[in-house]
Amino acid sequence: QPAVPSTAPTPSAAKPPPPLKRPAPVVLGKDKTEPLKGVRKAMVKTMTIANAIPHFGYCDEIDMTALVNLRDSLRKMAAERGINFSYMPVILKAASLALGQYPTLNAHVDDKCENITYKASHNIGLAMDTPDGLMVPNIKNVQALSIFEVASELTRLVDLGTKGKLGPSDLTGGTFSISNIGSIGGTYASPVLLPPEVAIGAIGKIQTLPRFDAGNVAKAHIMQVSWSADHRVIDGATMCRYSNLWKSYLENPASMILDLK
């Protein structure tokens, strides 16, 4: 009896995953102690101060399917203008549009937490994995920039970060931060505040996952977000409402058009 041909792809026909980048193993032989200097010393100071602040965490998932479908054409158009276009420019602009409705999250508190200053500019910091370590340059005045201008600024900052040339003007004055840990991997995180800022978000890897759509299981592109906020001045309901608005812009990018200036 002839074998029935199968329409299912054989395992060998499946596209192999990209090879995992692995650093070369480090064999020390004996213990090594070195002073913490430069960026690492700055991280010790900032994170120690941050850890004294009572944070709370809030997480959600975002359906990025519409944005994933849109990005190829955005990327091609940006490339024609010589600019790399990842998801970050839209994520950052949506964060700024939502900050316009929730200015308490774009604020600084003083050392003793006696005063809160609502910042006029949305200088949104982005955690950057650079050869020198973790740096958080910020894109100034995101509220006044087009998404393409945010992409240009991001390209400039990534270029400087890669070359170890980020300067004080790019590294100071941040008012709110987003960390895209998902560009490396992972889903949820527990981001630590960058004082005097009062909120930070960490976004995870966009994954293709099954989700319900009108009662049917459908393929969706899902990204998790983990927010941390200073619970001395921000309450959970505000963080949740802000996140809902930011999420609505990302899940329905057309809705951003209505609020873009």
Residues forming contacts to ligand CAO in the complex (CB under 6 A) are: 86-88, 126-129, 134, 154, 158, 179-184, 203, 205-206, 223
Closest separation in Å from C-beta 29 to ligand CAO: 29
Q: What values do phi and psi take at 256, rounded to 5?
A: -65, -35
**Which of 141, 183 has the CB closer to ligand CAO?**
183
**Among candidates 93, 104, 96, which has minimal Cα distance to 121?**
96
**Which of 50, 107 has the CB closer to ligand CAO?**
50
Closest separation in Å from C-beta 107 to ligand CAO: 21
Provide the sign of the torsion angle of the four alpha carbons 70, 76, 80, 82, taken in this order.
positive
Nearest residue (beta carbon) to ligand CAO: 182
Q: Which of 60, 129, 231, 259 is catalytic?
A: 231
Give the bridge partners for 209, in sequence order: 220
Q: Is 111 a catalytic residue?
A: no
Taking CA atoms, 211 is separated from 71, 207, 229, in Å, by 21, 12, 29
Q: Classify the phi-psi angles of 156: left when phi > 0, otherwise alpha if psi is within -120 to 50, otherwise beta.
A: alpha
Closest separation in Å from C-beta 69 to ligand CAO: 14
State whether residue 187 is helix, strand or coil.
coil
**What is the biggest distance separating any 2 CA atoms in the chain, rounded to whole angstroms?**
84
User: How far apart, in whole angstroms, are the C-alpha atoms of residue 75 and residue 249?
Assistant: 19
Can you read off the two tokens belonging to residue 225?
Answer: 């977000």
Closest separation in Å from C-beta 9 to ligand CAO: 24
Q: Which of 110, 159, 213, 235 is catalytic?
A: 235
**Which of 153, 230 has the CB closer to ligand CAO?**
153
User: How far apart, in whole angstroms, are the C-alpha atoms of residue 219 and residue 154?
Assistant: 30
Closest separation in Å from C-beta 8 to ligand CAO: 28
Q: Is 259 a catalytic residue?
A: no
**Which of 119, 205 has the CB closer to ligand CAO?**
205
**Which of 103, 210 has the CB closer to ligand CAO?**
210
Q: Calculate the CA 190 to chain-centre distance.
A: 13
Q: Active-site residue numbers?
A: 231, 235
